[in-house]
Structure 1
């Protein structure tokens, strides 16, 4: 009996091991006996993908999806029950009695099914390392359904675009309705065969974007400088059943994919492990020209010209008035009838032959007809056919010709093919006459330039003398400023090399400072957009005669910024001093200032968390340069949202140095009787006592950081919110452990929550009441980069105890001592 008991223990251990092995082998498989509930999931054998239930951002609905296992915070690549979400966590994925994959709710109702008509009872589903969920017959291993044949909005390896003209069946992508709703959106993308194979993006069934024809290697409707789209694609035609499929493979990185966004854009992106974020390497829609048929029939679109639309040679707008207004949808019509059309209408009257005008590097029109003709015969074949109005030839696609309206034409700077437009002979004469005119113009121009060279030399001599005199005036007027801001440092900077602009040139560039070119208004004066004769865009800050700031602030900004060079500081191009006119000329920032985006309900949507964090980091790097890395130690003293300009990529640049102060080598702080700055951004020691230092800028940076995270101005609070400022509101939420409520709903995503909360923590450290307790900007940057892991607990921000009293006092006072959030003013107070 004891022997039996002893031998049974090893047997039990063996059985237990077998059970464990069987369980492990089933970790990627679903059967009717092993379904998965809402809290469960399966992982592919190589740990690449995970399948389970999830909720999109800002949604409580539950969906079954597949996503990258190691990147659980990424959107699902495939979603099953797109239009029938679960309202609770009762969902179950299992194999039904007829062998189909089904999703059941708590009432055992089928919300989604693989819906295979030839399914078998003995089946199971397995998640593969390719991200494909396959339903197989267990006995033979035959695949009877797979998820990659039913993609959602993502094209990744093994997923194929396909279309069958005989059956009408096709595999295509369909966008999500919104980032929080994966149901079927307005946009779809798939492959179409219109004499040639092309990829289309459609909006509600109408063309929205197209790739141009496939020439066995690339899509010729995509510029070669953006041809990364074509990498890895291969097209296969099954002549037996008529199915055409397009797939791509990218061996370098499995986290490479194409996504059809909710706005109808196709983006190619890969996961950057270093930045722990998606990096977009290609966009289908880069300009308005990329939208299908922007310029109408017989119109051509060029993204770098203004206006972007023009009629093809030999054509003119159908409605000139509408065309000039920018309404190009009516397109263009032929100016002169073709020869065969004239012969038909005049009873056989002889006429000169039509010809072709060559347009280089073009995206060929849609609706082309294919022909086996060789390149030499393509022209003659089109010329013989009166219905043929254009032709093109590509070595991969062969001869292309068009007999219908030419639609969706675009001019490329790289790539494309040569397009030949058929025109009447008289139109060719016009081109010849134009060439003669150009030749004569060149000859006359050369003679004219030779004559003008002498006068130009004399003018330059006078101009040099004028600039020398103007700089002497600048240096003379700046004598007091030099003495005040430390002779040693200012002698290093100087303004001798700063370009001087004349008033007439700036007046011409700004259309005489027309109101339509006005970008904004500050304490210094208005700022205008201008364009120099060479096409360079500039921003001109013009000192207002009514401004509280004058020559001192003007010269201060010239001195401070003339030699500073940093990617996060706005660049000063020059100045103008003529009579009473004093102007500063800067590089032009097309997206204006941060407050124009951050506090605008429509534009703030463009600032997702990644863009906002990039802005925060950029401002920090700019401050670090001013405080530590530049040749001068500079305190900005007026850091605020309206003084942060954004370039075309929304990168931040600190501007407005009229109130900045330069520190000597051994100085840590300074005092002033002249308190300048903006209400809500000034540190308490500066506002109350006139003491400023690097920590004054850190305080302003902290306020700005909290505004960026919350999307609210520091001064936008009222009595009904029981707080007068953003600082008071943030401190209140911090103390009740509800700081999440501070986050702007536009950026509130679970995957970014920890990073956002860390930024709020850093912001509260920056706005502490006592300057010595605030971190330096170098420490702040280390905190933002998580180089400092453990952050100290913040102490009470400045002004909290004074809020109610100050608010009551300011509401009763008829004169404020500080400016509103957008305007900087000066306050003189005794200390």
Structure 2
């Protein structure tokens, strides 16, 4: 009898699998078991059982069905995994869904928890949006439950994040515990509806990262996946009697897009690249120091574009609460009023100082003053209450304002923001702030009114000489970056627009010449770190003990001037652990200098090609350096604000810090590619022969793959301990690439390995890296991997393609124009930089 029941149950399960497993619905009293799928009508999503990563546990989830990578977007039994493949999901006559660990279990692991329904009239359906819905009624049009109301770690187009006022249900994201465990993790991303609604990332219950206040920022400064591009997306903000929600609808159904909170608390926005067969992240946050909530404490502003002397600055009228900690770059204590007696700032002569272009402070304790309010009335409203510390004017179909009471937390400079914060200060601070305004032209003063009184002509005469001197300095800086000399050197309009008109290039601190002279002992020869065609590099020490490297431009160096412009325009915007940090610059008298972080171990080539230094670099250390360099290049190509091609990657441009971590330097030849630009071309080629790809060395064509070629050369140098331009036989074509390629074809690749690494080798890892190096230096640019794939190959055990013909002297591409090209380059590893044209 029992065996007959088991046979009958097996037949029923098989019938359910064949009848419902290939359809998009589960009818009342139907089931699906492990191994069967519910597939949405258009085939985009599937619902079934899966095991994440290397886990053997089973979970019920939804994933993309028609792409090559199983990408899970929703999980039912997140904290209650199933052991084995006996799980079963069943419909219910009373309009519900239940998940059981096996067919004989009486207690469900998960249910839709629907409390009402009509017997026999419900159906569960998986939609092409990825939403799993439970519908009732004769026409099945009434949705009684949907998975979109209960997100896991992923948000899809059409999904709402927010709060229902009717049911009290809050829809928010929670991270997985790990890649192998979809259980509820430590991070959540949810709407905080109080005052002016905001989106927060929480670590547990502690704010971790915050978006800008509700809709007026158009979400451009929010750690949120999609900016307002109405050709593809349609942002919707709802704040009505039903609830408070944010959602995005996608206008192009062929685009696959999602955002996910990963286990480390980073919100990543991704699109599926059909050509590469992978998800590409086009946004990630928190990413830099100022993205984290309250980094600089209350009453301060964090500026992500300034890394020295400090990202944090007190708001007008405030000073550090703990000065010693502040100078040690710990700003968590924030700022307090400069004068204790000014705690109440009501009084004659008080005013408001504008802080431009910011992500407005946390609005949890702010008050909204209704539409139609003008800026003047906003200020007047704030003056009425001595506890009002700041205001901002907002435009949502009309004017309005936000008023802050008490501390101002998490204010961040954001250059593309169109909102300013007006901070309340006492009379002394207000007067001081006006006196420090410089660079204004005479017509401006003719109409200036200050605190309902006209500025005195005497005060103007007193300030005008100082004003003129500072205006002249600004003009000199502007001319340096926009010379009217007919040159067609590289500049980037986006960077330039952000630099102009804002306190003389605020993203890059300016050091005085006296400060640099003192730091370098008046450019003492004993402090010289190196020399080049651009000038010299000196070691220095600032008064706070910070060690620096000063690149001093030679007065007669046109190359250095171009490099100087390029580095200021580019590297000041870049922040990555594998890129050298630019602390600031000095432009004074006839001097132009760049101030970098000091890296005590100098450049990689000094270690790699020195017999004693090479012994320090065992294989483990070399592999770590290789991966670090690759990640730095990937950041330039994909994750930085701009797509940057370095064009001069070589071991001497890889610097090492105290722990031998690599940092890419020397951006004097770097170029930016536009978003839709695949490659560029220059008539004036410069670089180091041997590291340059064939298409660039001969035809001046550069792309991301040019840097990939250079990285491949560096990788082979790291493995062999030999320089690229060394000759290995009487045949002058047998350089390092040829040497490694010949040994690879003979299956003797390990013979090329640097003998100083003997005893530390991981033969399998070394062979993999040799193969990756040869893939990167292939002659045909189309055959080389991009840096994203290169990093993936370095960090995984994925199968690798067999390398094809590499590009080196003697191959067809070089031979086409070798004679014309030879005169343009140096074979002794000296970089030649000319005027760069597109």
TM-score of Structure 1 vs Structure 2, range by shorter chain: 0.5 to 0.7
Query: Is the alpha carbon distance of 1:114 and 1:77 closer, same or farther for their aligned partners in structure 2, counting shifts above 3 Å?
Result: same
Choose which of 413, 417, 420 in structure 1 pairs with 2:419.
Answer: 417
TM-score (norm 1): 0.59
Query: Is the alpha carbon distance of 1:261 and 1:27 closer, same or farther for their aligned partners in structure 2, counting shifts above 3 Å?
Result: same
- Which residue of the partner structure matches residue 278 of structure 1? 279
- Which residue of the partner structure matches residue 382 of structure 1? 382
Shift of 1:182: 0.8
The answer to whether the Cα contact below 8 Å between 1:591 and 1:645 also exists between their aligned partners in 2 is no
Query: Is the alpha carbon distance of 1:506 and 1:318 closer, same or farther for their aligned partners in structure 2, counting shifts above 3 Å?
Result: same
Query: 1:464-506 deviations in whole A, cap 9, x for unaligned?
Result: xxxxxxxxxxxxxxxxxxxxxxxxxxxxxxxxxx95355xx42
The answer to whether the Cα contact below 8 Å between 1:35 and 1:93 also exists between their aligned partners in 2 is yes
User: CA separation in 1, counterparts of 2:177 and 2:168?
Assistant: 25
User: CA separation in 2, counterparts of 1:232 and 1:729?
Assistant: 46
Shift of 1:277: 1.3
Query: 1:282-330 deviations in whole A, cap 9, x for unaligned?
Result: 2232311111111111011001112111111110111111222222221
- Which residue of the partner structure matches residue 74 of structure 2? 78
Whether 1:105 aligns to 2:101 is: yes
User: CA separation in 1, counterparts of 2:474 and 2:355?
Assistant: 31
The answer to whether the Cα contact below 8 Å between 1:266 and 1:285 also exists between their aligned partners in 2 is yes
User: CA separation in 2, counterparts of 1:418 and 1:195?
Assistant: 19
For 1:664-683, list aligned pairs within 5 A. 667-669=732-734
User: CA separation in 2, counterparts of 1:220 and 1:645?
Assistant: 39
The answer to whether the Cα contact below 8 Å between 1:223 and 1:415 also exists between their aligned partners in 2 is no
Query: Is the alpha carbon distance of 1:701 and 1:529 closer, same or farther for their aligned partners in structure 2, counting shifts above 3 Å?
Result: farther
- Which residue of the partner structure matches residue 136 of structure 1? 135
Query: Is the alpha carbon distance of 1:439 and 1:660 closer, same or farther for their aligned partners in structure 2, counting shifts above 3 Å?
Result: farther
- Which residue of the partner structure matches residue 91 of structure 1? 87
Whether 1:178 aligns to 2:178 is: yes
Shift of 1:238: 3.5
Shift of 1:210: 2.0
- Which residue of the partner structure matches residue 119 of structure 1? 117
- Which residue of the partner structure matches residue 492 of structure 2? none
Query: Is the alpha carbon distance of 1:217 and 1:662 closer, same or farther for their aligned partners in structure 2, counting shifts above 3 Å?
Result: same
For 1:230-629, list aligned pairs within 5 A. 231-239=233-241, 242-252=242-252, 253-305=254-306, 306=308, 307-336=310-339, 341=344, 352-367=348-363, 368-372=366-370, 373-396=373-396, 398-435=400-437, 440-441=465-466, 443=468, 500=533, 505-508=536-539, 533=586, 534-535=593-594, 537=596, 541=603, 570-571=648-649, 586=653, 625=692
Q: Secondary structure at the match of 2:412?
A: strand
- Which residue of the partner structure matches residue 169 of structure 2? 169
The answer to whether the Cα contact below 8 Å between 1:643 and 1:655 also exists between their aligned partners in 2 is no
User: CA separation in 2, counterparts of 1:511 and 1:700?
Assistant: 54
Query: Is the alpha carbon distance of 1:754 and 1:654 closer, same or farther for their aligned partners in structure 2, counting shifts above 3 Å?
Result: closer
RMSD of aligned residue pairs (Cα, Å): 5.4
TM-score (norm 2): 0.58
Query: Is the alpha carbon distance of 1:325 and 1:447 closer, same or farther for their aligned partners in structure 2, counting shifts above 3 Å?
Result: closer
The answer to whether the Cα contact below 8 Å between 1:358 and 1:418 also exists between their aligned partners in 2 is yes
Shift of 1:52: 0.7
Shift of 1:510: 8.5
586-595 or 391-400, which deviates more? 586-595
Structure 1 segments unaligned to the other structure (5+ residues): 1-18, 344-350, 451-497, 519-526, 551-565, 573-583, 598-621, 633-638, 647-651, 671-681, 684-690, 708-712, 732-746, 767-774, 780-831
User: Is the helix fraction higher in 1 or 2?
Assistant: 1
Q: Secondary structure at the match of 1:377?
A: helix
Shift of 1:704: 13
Shift of 1:376: 2.7
Shift of 1:160: 0.9
User: CA separation in 2, counterparts of 1:208 and 1:226?
Assistant: 20
- Which residue of the partner structure matches residue 483 of structure 1? none
Query: Is the alpha carbon distance of 1:104 and 1:730 closer, same or farther for their aligned partners in structure 2, counting shifts above 3 Å?
Result: farther
- Which residue of the partner structure matches residue 204 of structure 2? 204
Shift of 1:391: 0.5
352-361 or 322-331, which deviates more? 322-331
The answer to whether the Cα contact below 8 Å between 1:198 and 1:219 also exists between their aligned partners in 2 is no
In our comparison, the structure showing a higher alpha carbon Rg is 1
User: CA separation in 2, counterparts of 1:163 and 1:203?
Assistant: 20
Shift of 1:426: 0.4
Query: 1:170-229 deviations in whole A, cap 9, x for unaligned?
Result: 111111111111111111112222222222222212222222222367137549999459
User: CA separation in 2, counterparts of 1:642 and 1:243?
Assistant: 55
- Which residue of the partner structure matches residue 64 of structure 2? 68
User: CA separation in 1, counterparts of 2:41 and 2:64?
Assistant: 13
Query: Is the alpha carbon distance of 1:511 and 1:80 closer, same or farther for their aligned partners in structure 2, counting shifts above 3 Å?
Result: same
Structure 2 segments unaligned to the other structure (5+ residues): 1-14, 439-461, 476-530, 550-578, 587-592, 613-643, 665-688, 700-708, 771-787, 809-838
- Which residue of the partner structure matches residue 758 of structure 1? 799
Query: Is the alpha carbon distance of 1:110 and 1:706 closer, same or farther for their aligned partners in structure 2, counting shifts above 3 Å?
Result: farther
The answer to whether the Cα contact below 8 Å between 1:175 and 1:261 also exists between their aligned partners in 2 is yes
Q: Secondary structure at the match of 1:297?
A: coil
Query: Is the alpha carbon distance of 1:703 and 1:255 closer, same or farther for their aligned partners in structure 2, counting shifts above 3 Å?
Result: farther
